């Protein structure tokens, strides 16, 4: 019987990340501290543009939904995932925006 290392399985499952069009563009997909709403809108619009032509967009979106990720993944913002029923574990940003 072959022994399967869980780390090998996880690495294989996430190989799609290496093909992401966003590689090296972290600043577009995750907010800086105290980001203003207008800056968030511009940043997310730029991120969405990168995602539009990405060959692994669906894998990325599914990963973010299943893992309850923060940031912009697979063409979706945290707010969009939240609205689609994929809740964040601790939705600080979503909660703060909906209170206003």
What would the two tokens of residue 93 be?
A: 């940003």
Does 1 reside within a domain? no
Does 71 reside within a domain? yes
Tell me what pLDDT residue 66 has.
93
Tell me what pLDDT residue 88 has.
79
* Helix (H), strand (E), coil (C) string for 7-67: HHHHHHHCHHHHHCCCCCCHHHHCCCCCCCHHHHHHHHHHHHHHHHCCCCHHHHHHHHHHH
Tell me the pTM: 0.75
Mean pLDDT by 10 residues, the chain (100 residues): 50 81 95 93 97 96 94 95 85 50
Virtual CA dihedral for 38, 93, 65, 9, nearest 10 degrees?
110
Number of domains the chain contains: 1
| Contact (CB, 8 A) for 22 and 50 | yes
Q: CA gyration radius for the chain?
A: 15
Tell me what pLDDT residue 99 has.
45
d(CA 69, CA 78): 8
Does 18 reside within a domain? yes
Give the range of the structural domain holding residue 30, as residue numbers without chain letter.
12-99
Tell me what pLDDT residue 93 has.
54
Does 20 reside within a domain? yes
Does 43 reside within a domain? yes
Does 94 reside within a domain? yes
Tell me what pLDDT residue 89 has.
74
What would the two tokens of residue 22 be?
A: 């966003």
Tell me what pLDDT residue 20 has.
95
Tell me what pLDDT residue 95 has.
47
Does 4 reside within a domain? no
């Amino acid at each position: 019987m072959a022994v399967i290392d869980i780390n090998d399985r996880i690495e294989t499952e996430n190989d799609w990340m290496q093909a992401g069009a966003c590689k090296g563009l972290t600043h577009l997909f995750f907010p800086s501290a105290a980001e203003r709403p207008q800056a968030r809108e511009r940043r997310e619009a730029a991120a969405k543009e990168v995602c539009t032509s990405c060959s692994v967009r669906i894998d990325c979106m599914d990963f973010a939904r299943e893992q309850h990720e923060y940031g912009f993944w697979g063409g979706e913002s945290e707010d969009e995932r939240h609205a689609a029923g994929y809740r964040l574990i601790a939705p600080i940003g979503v909660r703060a925006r909906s209170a206003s």
